[in-house]
Structure 1
Amino acid sequence: MIQNTKCECGHQNHIGTVLCESCGKPLMDEDGSEVLEMKYDGVARRSQRANPDLLDWIWNFFSSVKIAIYLIVITLLTSMLGTVYPQESTFLNLDPSVYYKETYGTLGQIYYVLGLSHTFESWWYKLLLFMIGTSLVVCSLDRVLPLYRALSKQQIRKHPSFLTRQKVTFSGMLPSAGESASSEAAAVAWTSKAAEQLRKKHYRVHTDGTALLAEKYRFSRWGPYINHIGLIIFLGAVLMRSIPGWHMDQHLAFPEGKLVKIQDTPYYLKNEKFTIDFYAPDEMSEEFRAKGQDVPKVYETKAVLYECKANCSDPVKEPVLEEVHRQDIVVNKPLEYKGFMAYQFDFSLSPVLLAVKPSLKDKKTGEVYGTLDIRMDKPEEVYKAGPYELKLKAYFPEFALDDKGVPLTKSNEPKMPGFVFTITGPGMSSQWEPFIYFPRQVDKVNFRQDEINGALAEKLELSVGSMDDVTISEYISFLNIRIDRAMPYIWVGAAISMIGLIMGFYWQHRRVWLRIDDNRITLGAHTNKNWFGVRKEVADTLQKSGIAVDPKSLERRVAES
């Protein structure tokens, strides 16, 4: 660790300082011939602290540019791996544990087992982003505070060794020195003349007798740190997507005429009507005509968005809904409402049973006791038909039997709905008798409804009179539901980062120091890039101030040993 002492100019420097904060004299390697390292003007940083404690070790770890690069490379590699196969979030009604193995074989199974199938939602990926953000914050603070201290307290008169060890340097006599001894006034006059030439080149010039400091585009030094601020906001916004309600990206099915609740939101969305228009044969290419394939020209969902106002989390009570937005959704023209977006994703022609209105009647006499209004999405607990009362005991949207013959449902979609009621009324052998009902005729036959109901099936029957008593959704509209409240912050972070990049790329901080001692001019100049430009400006300034100089001669070269 560097151990500094007080500089000969009297300024006491912090441990870790390479160049005196006041006069710029090198505190180490005073007699060296190498060009000075001007990062942060040689000011000490916290990461250079002697005898670091635990907090300093953590600070030093995250302040390391090498560590930051490692974190970025690891994150990039994991991001690349996350795009080898589709992520789970892009699936619709698929079991990922089965899909990866069946579609991609052993590699797909390994991909799923390693957790790469949900890379961007995993805790370790978010931890990497958090560590990169922490590294950006610590790296910036470790460097920007010393740099600000160095640039805000610049001394005009620098030590000669500071000037002669710059990459662009000049040492020579005043133009009038060959004729007569130059007075102090002549030196001051020449300094003023040089200052005027530098001002014409848009430098801000400060003078102290025969010493001069000229600089321009200092603001460009803050470009990398503004870029860091933008990246920190960007990463923070990405991590904010983990906050409940801030981000959603899922694909949901909306049968025509059905109201569907959007999970984790107060919204319900109804597909009032789905329309599709196909290309005529003469409008299609030969390839599709040969296949006899129908190609959709446009498909549209007439969507209505509702917001829940009461009973939102009560599964027993009906939610109180208020219509808040109505829009026709087509491809690339999503429904948008206060950050909620619904994109047209796909469609299906599979009919879905939404509701049925069967009548309860006496099989022997044909007397109709009443009609039941059974909704597939939310059937009621009790139905009454004349003197009979039916209580719902179980509902299976996709009825099936396991190996032991126990009823179960394969999914929550009403593909093969089955209802188990207990019924009571006149003529019942017991107070409550079980009664099973399948709305679809094919299911009645497949699952032998009448055999299960036994003697009760000989007395009572639940059936529909016509298709007017059946509500079927012919189309299913698949919508991509998105909520991204962090997106405005992502754009702000990206814009700030771009501003920082532009500042750093298109402007360069240029400084020129000059002092005259005993008629001898000592000049040094520094920039963080474009040395040819600053060398040309210095040469032009000297030439217009009466000193003929070749620009190439201004570039300092280390003498060979």
Structure 2
Amino acid sequence: MKKIKCECGHVNPEGTVLCEACGKPIEENQHIDGNDKTKLINMRYDGSARRSLTYNRSIIDKIWSFFSSVKVGVWLIVIALVASALGTIFPQEIYIPIDAVSRDPAIYYEDQFGVFGKIYYQLGFYDLYSSWWYMLLISLIGISLVICSIDRVVPLHRALKMQKPRRHETFINRQRLYSESPNISDEEKQQVVNNLKKLRYKVRSEEGHILAEKGRFSRWGPYVNHIGLIIILIAALLRMTPWLYLDDYVWVREGQQVVIPGTDNKYYIKNKEFILEKYDEDDKRFQDAIDRVGGEVHKNYQTNVIIYKNVDATIPGAEPKLEKVLEDKVWMNHPLKFDGYTLYQSGYQQNEFSNMSFKIYETNDSDQKALETFTIDLTSPETEYEFESGFRVVIDKYYPDYVLDKGEPRSETKFPRNPAFVIFVYPPNTESPEISFIGIGKNIDATGENKFKLGIVDFETHFVSGMTLRQDYTLPLFGLGALVFMIGVVQGMYWQHRRIWIHPNGRSILLAAHTNKNWFGVNKDIEKAILGTNIQMVVDQQEVEGYEKTKEVHNE
């Protein structure tokens, strides 16, 4: 690494713009004439060397320079925002309704959204937020933030650490705010120092040279922002891991006990009772809402549940040994919490069929006297029923939620909401079946020659409760990242790093000032500090007629 030695004797790293010790411009890096006092010096990072602007030899240097660019970081964020927006056009795979005919994305998206849904699936947008390229994009943003921060925070730290009251005269007279005052007494100089202390400046001196400084901590604001963003990105990546984030859905019928998905068979839930309450139509307080909705308005739906823990969950294939954890109720906006999980009441289905009872009777029997009766469990129907009388019934096709689609029967969902059957009835001592199609409001003789007919005798219905299970250990990390980010915003927005130098030059005083922002504020501070003295007010050399601004070249 090439070292640059200043006339003051300090050895600076390659790429340094201003000497770290005395502030004298390194002319080959300033690209201006050292005797030209009409040009302002480059005060970015106080002239300290940045790695990305100094080295460009190896592949590591080129990668570092690429990711240290603010433009690259902004473009990565824009691409991530566009990709995130694309993921909201249609529901993500995890939000495919549990009662969909098919939860296979290849079928669901085309069936629900047509050709656009098919394209959406083929492009992989159906599981965008868990895709490898989206995770890579988030990771690249994190890498860019880290490299951007390191590339800038190291020279900034070195520059702030080397703040000295005594600076080279060229450093002073090339500051943006500058004045020269002849014949200034030591008393007037001390008066200015006292006034600066009253303005809460930290004043240091070295052989008559004065540096008054305040608000240095504000320079770290942007890097605190970066730390907050990095924490948020880490939380987003960790949310893709099942042991830190879980979002699943379970349907459980009244009286049914099922394993809670996502818990590795560790927890079970039993729907003890579902309660649905409606607003009284005679209650005038809610009449406007009832009229506006044009139907039933429910004021509450809740599930009384029992949560069990499987104490033998670690043994594969073992019969679950359940212990009762708690018994409670879950209703809208009042979730149930247990062992780090949160259970929400998210939906319900009413009047879902539990079972249906049928009878077999002779077609010519006007009294429809039952020859045989049988009951089909609609959640897990048997395929065949045999009777001592010789009758045999075979369920050929079962449509839990029957619809007629372009002349073809199919099931709209897998839940028994409108059950229909194609049933083969084998009379005694007969090998040829009679075919019937039967459902709610449907009883069709397939051939028109059946001697025996089926009829619905009875049925039972139940409520089904839809519940969302969530477990999220990343929320505290998101909150911490947001808090750190806001601290950085406040730190960098409401404070400024202000520096005022007093440089003795014989009986004259050189006064100069610099701030990272809010030049009006530092001007006002100087006005108050020199009040009552003969020290000249600083002028803004950037506005002086004939001034040509130095072009600062940055690889941004």
Asked if TM exceeds 0.5, the reply is yes
In the superposition, relative to structure 1, how do residues 61 and 350 fare at CA in structure 2: closer, same or farther (>3 Å)? farther
Give the drift of 1:65.
Answer: 1.0
For residue 276 of structure 2, what is the amino acid of its counterpart?
A: I
Higher helix share: 1
Q: Which moved more, 1:16-25 or 1:292-301?
A: 292-301
- C-alpha contact 1:224 1:500 (8 A) present in aligned 2: yes
Percent of aligned pairs sharing the same letter: 37
- C-alpha contact 1:191 1:211 (8 A) present in aligned 2: no
In the superposition, relative to structure 1, how do residues 398 and 261 fare at CA in structure 2: closer, same or farther (>3 Å)? farther
* C-alpha distance in 1 between matches for 2:314 and 2:353: 26
* C-alpha distance in 2 between matches for 1:452 and 1:159: 115
**Helix, strand or coil: the match of 2:241?**
coil
Match of 2:518 in 1: 530
**Helix, strand or coil: the match of 1:511?**
strand
In the superposition, relative to structure 1, how do residues 452 and 23 fare at CA in structure 2: closer, same or farther (>3 Å)? farther
For residue 193 of structure 1, what is the amino acid of its counterpart?
A: Q
Gaps of 5+ in 2: 358-370, 383-394, 402-409, 434-456, 548-556
Number of positions where the alignment pairs a residue of Structure 1 with one of Structure 2: 487
Task: Find 1:204's aligned residue among 191, 202, 205.
Answer: 202
* C-alpha distance in 1 between matches for 2:428 and 2:214: 92
Output aligned runs, 1:482-561, within 5 Å: 482-544=470-532, 546-547=533-534, 549-550=536-537, 553-554=539-540, 556-560=542-546
- C-alpha contact 2:304 2:328 (8 A) present in aligned 1: yes
* C-alpha distance in 1 between matches for 2:3 and 2:527: 36
Task: Find 1:40's aligned residue among 30, 45, 59.
Answer: 45
Give the drift of 1:3.
Answer: 7.3
* C-alpha distance in 1 between matches for 2:513 and 2:197: 15
Match of 2:170 in 1: 161
TM-score, normalising length: structure 2: 0.76
- C-alpha contact 1:191 1:212 (8 A) present in aligned 2: no
Output aligned runs, 1:146-545, within 5 Å: 146-176=155-185, 186=186, 189-265=187-263, 266-283=266-283, 284-285=286-287, 288-289=290-291, 293-312=295-314, 314-315=316-317, 317-353=318-354, 415=416, 446-448=422-424, 450=426, 474-544=462-532
- C-alpha contact 1:332 1:343 (8 A) present in aligned 2: yes
**Helix, strand or coil: the match of 1:310?**
coil
- C-alpha contact 1:354 1:377 (8 A) present in aligned 2: no
- C-alpha contact 2:211 2:501 (8 A) present in aligned 1: yes
* C-alpha distance in 2 between matches for 1:232 and 1:89: 26
- C-alpha contact 1:272 1:303 (8 A) present in aligned 2: yes
- C-alpha contact 1:309 1:320 (8 A) present in aligned 2: yes
* C-alpha distance in 1 between matches for 2:63 and 2:179: 44
In the superposition, relative to structure 1, how do residues 144 and 290 fare at CA in structure 2: closer, same or farther (>3 Å)? closer
* C-alpha distance in 1 between matches for 2:353 and 2:212: 79
- C-alpha contact 1:397 1:415 (8 A) present in aligned 2: no
Give the drift of 1:207.
Answer: 0.6
In the superposition, relative to structure 1, how do residues 173 and 327 fare at CA in structure 2: closer, same or farther (>3 Å)? farther
Post-superposition CA distance 1:293-336 (Å, at most 9, x none): 22222111112222322145633x32122232333211111112
**Helix, strand or coil: the match of 2:226?**
helix
Task: Find 1:111's aligned residue among 111, 116, 120.
Answer: 120
In the superposition, relative to structure 1, how do residues 49 and 378 fare at CA in structure 2: closer, same or farther (>3 Å)? farther
- C-alpha contact 1:100 1:108 (8 A) present in aligned 2: yes
Please, what is the CA RMSD of the aligned residues?
Answer: 4.2
Give the drift of 1:485.
Answer: 1.3
In the superposition, relative to structure 1, how do residues 279 and 450 fare at CA in structure 2: closer, same or farther (>3 Å)? farther
1:67 aligns with 2:72: yes
In the superposition, relative to structure 1, how do residues 518 and 247 fare at CA in structure 2: closer, same or farther (>3 Å)? same
TM-score, normalising length: structure 1: 0.76
Match of 1:387 in 2: none
Post-superposition CA distance 1:262-300 (Å, at most 9, x none): 233132222221110112323454685498622222111
* C-alpha distance in 1 between matches for 2:356 and 2:309: 23
Give the drift of 1:375.
Answer: 11
